Amino acid sequence: MTDSPTVRIPLDPQEQPMLDKLLAIRTKLELLKQDKSTYVKSQDVIELYDQVVEQVEVLNQIRTTKRLEQNRVDTVLDDCFQLISLAYMTIGKNHEAPAVYSFVSTTKRLLDHLEEAHFYSPKDLESIGAELKSCRRYLERGKDSYSPQLLTLLNARIGVCEEILGRLELNLSHLTPDLTPKYDKLVSILRSLAGCNTRSKFPNEEVDDYLEQLKELQEELRPYGIHAYETTGSREEKIAEMAEKLQISMAHPEPAPEAKELIETLLRRNFLWVALIKEKQGRIAPAFQDTYDKLLTIRNKLEKLSLTQAWSLRETDLWNFQRQLDRIDEARVDGNFFDALGRPAELYEQRTLLYLLRKSYSLIYHLIVSSEPVSEALLPIYNQLTTLRKCLQEVKKLGGVSSPRELYPYSMKLNSIDNMRIDGKFMVGNEIPDGQGSVTQLLEECFELAYELRTDVEDSSSADQTPASESGTEPLAA
């Protein structure tokens, strides 16, 4: 089991029974997510949610005079809420208050990393801002259905995210419309370069291409008085000088940096990063190889999941990744990684490890956001209908069919899915899984597409068979 980072504060004897119960609940939740022989059932998840809320109420009664205390009870409680949140998504209750918990936790991590990195795209902030507004709506809708303690906690955490988001937006507020695309391009190049640095074989040609793009951007930015540092001396001296100057400029960031300073610093970081990665060629210092391998494995597994999400993701599986990443993230000191002997990582290792850590949190964020509000029990049907809709849309885009007979396979499949419904509902055993509306809407869209294609081909066939005299025109004389 991957436990959460341990908070080493003495446990109040009154809280021991609570800790024992929460550990038992967490074990049940883990067993629930690990059992792939059956679907996760709504009643099981809701029952465990009620048990956790019961312990929260007891905890609040004990801590009337020490609200800010944090010990192992809190870390295990966080585990339980994270698992329940992901389980709510697994059963299709994505828009319910408990499901918000995991999203907000991941978003907070992501925002912290964006603020630490100093450089991010306005599109990153737009996406997060829109999702936080949706979370607010879900909480408002569930205020009469869920525990006030949970809603208060979630409202506070969303508030923290909104506060960080506001600071990040302020940092970009000085960008003018003509500079924003150039800034976006520099952010994109920096991230792409970091990705190149984690390939199994270092892509020299690709890095050279990014270097050329940077030089072009530098020329475009010169009229604005923006340029990278000019350095002299050997290659090693240039890298050292660039790194030193960059660290000095980043050590004292302005609360809301002006556009010139922001872009200039980003441009320098890109040039420095090109120089560093071309020198290192993907080689990580042995002291940090284990951390690198662990983060690389997590990143690769999450990327694979993002490609096959519709068919292979059980949202509760994300918890293991979250826990591993949290342990690595919280082991950093003042933002840096340290080896077994307590020595800090050099700039190259630090930036490479941070890229993998941030990329992994970003992938989890996107997996959560793109999770469909459909129960795991209905996903096979939902995925089939999604594929059918794509096929029908493609057929329509390519000009339709030449004969109604070509639509028979689609019609047969749609009818077979429609016939699975009992009293208009898709049943799994005696349960009516969540996501009925989404599946039914998708089924109706498919039927509508098939009907449009059939009508088009029948109209076309009818027009071809209409005699010329009936169409109101006389045949031309021979």
Poorest-pLDDT segment among 303-307, 312-316, 336-340: 312-316
pLDDT at 1: 42
Poorest-pLDDT segment among 76-80, 85-89, 285-289, 307-311: 307-311
249, part of any domain: yes
pLDDT at position 476 over 50: no
389, part of any domain: yes
Q: Nearest to residue 153, comparing CAs of 49, 55, 88, 81?
A: 81
168, part of any domain: no
How many folded domains does the chain comprise? 2
365-399 pLDDT, tens digit each: 999 999 989 999 999 999 999 999 999 999 999 98
**Would you list the DSSP string of 260-307?**
HHHHHHHHHHHHHHHHHHHHHTTPPPGGGHHHHHHHHHHHHHHHHHHH
3-40 pLDDT, tens digit each: 555 445 556 788 889 999 999 999 999 999 898 888 88
**399: domain range?**
379-461
Type of residue numbered 159:
G
Q: In the structure, what pLDDT confidence band is assigned to residue 67 with cuts at 50, 70 and 90? A: low
Q: What's the N-to-C CA distance of the chain in angstroms?
A: 89
Contact 285, 322 (CB under 8 A): no
pLDDT (average), residues 261-277: 91
What's the CA gap between 6 and 249, in Å, rounded? 35
Contact 102, 78 (CB under 8 A): no
218, part of any domain: yes
- The torsion region of residue 24 among left (phi > 0), alpha (psi -120 to 50) and beta comes to alpha
| Domain end position, chosen among 230, 253, 280 | 280
**Would you list the DSSP string of 75-132?**
HHHHHHHHHHHHHHHHTT-TTSHHHHHHHHHHHHHHHHHHHHH----HHHHHHHHHHH
| Domain end position, chosen among 247, 280, 313 | 280
pLDDT at 117: 87
Neighbour-count burial of 336, counting CB atoms closer than 10 A to its CB (0-12 exposed, 13-18 middle, 19+ buried): middle
| Domain end position, chosen among 280, 311, 340 | 280
274-302 pLDDT, tens digit each: 999 999 999 999 999 999 999 999 999 99
Q: How many CB atoms lie within 10 A of CB 14?
A: 12
147, part of any domain: no
Q: Could you give the percent of the chain with pLDDT greater than 70?
A: 87
Q: In the structure, what pLDDT confidence band is assigned to residue 260 with cuts at 50, 70 and 90? A: confident
Q: In the structure, what pLDDT confidence band is assigned to residue 82 with cuts at 50, 70 and 90? A: very high
Q: In the structure, what pLDDT confidence band is assigned to residue 65 with cuts at 50, 70 and 90? A: low
pLDDT at position 69 over 80: no
130-184 pLDDT, tens digit each: 999 999 999 999 999 999 989 988 999 999 999 999 999 998 988 888 899 999 9
pLDDT at position 242 over 90: no
27, part of any domain: no
pLDDT at 224: 83
pLDDT at 366: 94
Q: In the structure, what pLDDT confidence band is assigned to residue 467 with cuts at 50, 70 and 90? A: low
Partners of 344 in the β-ladder: 338
204, part of any domain: yes
Partners of 426 in the β-ladder: 421
118-132 pLDDT, tens digit each: 889 999 999 999 999
Supply the mean pLDDT for the chain: 86
Task: Give the tokens for residue 380.
Answer: 């096979």
407-436 pLDDT, tens digit each: 999 999 999 999 999 999 999 888 899 999
pLDDT (average), residues 200-222: 93
- Range ranked top by mean pLDDT from 244-258, 288-302, 310-324: 288-302
Contact 84, 153 (CB under 8 A): no
94-106 pLDDT, tens digit each: 999 999 999 999 9
pLDDT at 254: 38
349, part of any domain: no
Q: In the structure, what pLDDT confidence band is assigned to residue 243 with cuts at 50, 70 and 90? A: low
Task: Give the tokens for residue 236.
Answer: 């090693």
Task: Give the DSSP letter of residue 441.
Answer: H
39-49 pLDDT, tens digit each: 888 999 999 99
